[in-house]
Chains A and B, each alone.
Chain A
Amino acid sequence: MEFKEVVGNRRSVRHFLPYKQVEREKIQVMLEAANRSSRSMNADYVKAIVVNRDELSEELRDSLRNPTTTLDLDMAPTYIMWFINLKYPEGTKERLKQLIDHGVNTPSHGWSHAYVDGVIQKTVIDKIAGDDARLNWMGAIETGQAIAQALLAAYDEGLGACLHNFTDTKIREALNVPDHWRRAWIMLVGYPAMGAEDGGQRPRRPLGENFKFGNADTPFESDPAVVARLTEAKLIQAPSPTPHRFEEIRLFNREFGLPE
């Protein structure tokens, strides 16, 4: 699938085929994509644990539930629990020197072993590691990037997914989750019950409302020719609700006896 179509296909899927398992290789594709995400200091911000719904005890599965993540846990066959590794500053000096040795961080941009060995610890690393707000802020941004790449990879593999909050009190102990792994999201993965379209692209505000040009007051104007090109490339798709969306939902709900 072309990149633009993958981006266009992505939407939060909440209706899965509960009986259709996700192939392990597709999960690996998602994790490989996450493992190649952008990351400052080449640090390992993200940690993830993959579990199959049917391999979790009922008690553990129930322990993940919260008011907005309940039904989805029953429907999605695979869960990926994402965490922020709050020990990500560890090993930074070694990794940065590796980047210098690989010709990635170069002298033209001010990089040297001497700078990394003698300056960066107090100037950068300690400031991040010693400030919880900064530590969490950076951790969340970089973890989010990894999650986003895994998410897109899922759609490229013909899957659907949705990110949710989850309760991790019991699962942490059961899965030996270290204390320094901070809960991010749980990604519920499966095959969309209503096809890739899944009701159409979700509503978004006009481009210029959130994206500006030159200053914060000037909307970035959307060029209709670009919109036409992106529509052809399927990055921009039919908006929700697509025709018969509510009939689709009703049929799905009735099949599984769900509230209408």
Chain B
Amino acid sequence: MSDVMTNEHTVESLKPTFEVKRWLESAKLDTEPEIEQDSRVRVLAQFCNHQGRHPKDMIEAVLRGGEEDGQYTIAIKARRELDEAINTFGDTLGLSLHQNITAGNVVRSFFIHNGVQMQGRPSL
């Protein structure tokens, strides 16, 4: 478990973390204008505050192991709960359906690029 426990996640607190850097780099969002990057990190921060958890904790709840050889297993139930939490979070934003779904998928993008295999929910 991470030792960082706060409900006040912000762009400033999350952006320097390894997980967020890895996300932005892997998704090639790090070449986007700062305002674009920050808008995504802000959504992630909102989700973390909604859950009252640090993003690293949420990754660790799904990816188990890794201490010895860097290889993890996925906790299926935890991943399903995470996916459902993302849907719930999106639905509470009070935006348009497309914006709600997109926000949820921004959060999914963070987890995907940190090794949590999950698929997006399209706005159709």
Contact = CB atoms under 8 A, between A and B. Distances in A.
B44 to A, nearest CB: 12
B105 interface: yes
B119 A67 contact: yes
Interface string A70-85: 1110110000000000
Nearest to A258: B120
B101 A257 contact: yes
A258 B102 CA distance: 6
Nearest to B23: A260
Nearest to A254: B102
Contacts, number: 48
Interface stretch (B1-9, B10-18, B53-61, B106-114): B106-114
Contact of B106 (A18, A75, A259): A259
A212 B119 CA distance: 39
Given A67-B79, A246-B28, A256 B117 contact: no
Nearest first, the 5 A-B pairs at minimum CB distance are A257-B102, A259-B109, A70-B119, A257-B123, A258-B120
29 contacts: A18-B122, A18-B124, A67-B74, A67-B79, A67-B117, A67-B119, A68-B117, A68-B119, A71-B119, A72-B119, A74-B121, A74-B122, A253-B120, A256-B120, A256-B123, A256-B124, A257-B98, A257-B102, A257-B105, A257-B120, A257-B122, A257-B123, A258-B105, A258-B120, A258-B122, A259-B112, A260-B27, A260-B29, A260-B109
Interface residues of A, number: 16
B120 to A, nearest CB: 4
A71 B109 contact: no
Interface string A240-258: 0000001000000100111
B118 interface: yes
Interface string B57-86: 000000000000000001010010000000
A75 B122 CA distance: 8
A17 to B, nearest CB: 11
Contacts of B27: 260
Nearest to A73: B119
A19 to B, nearest CB: 8
Given A70-B118, A71-B122, A72-B119, 7 more contacts: A19-B124, A68-B117, A257-B99, A257-B122, A259-B106, A259-B108, A259-B112
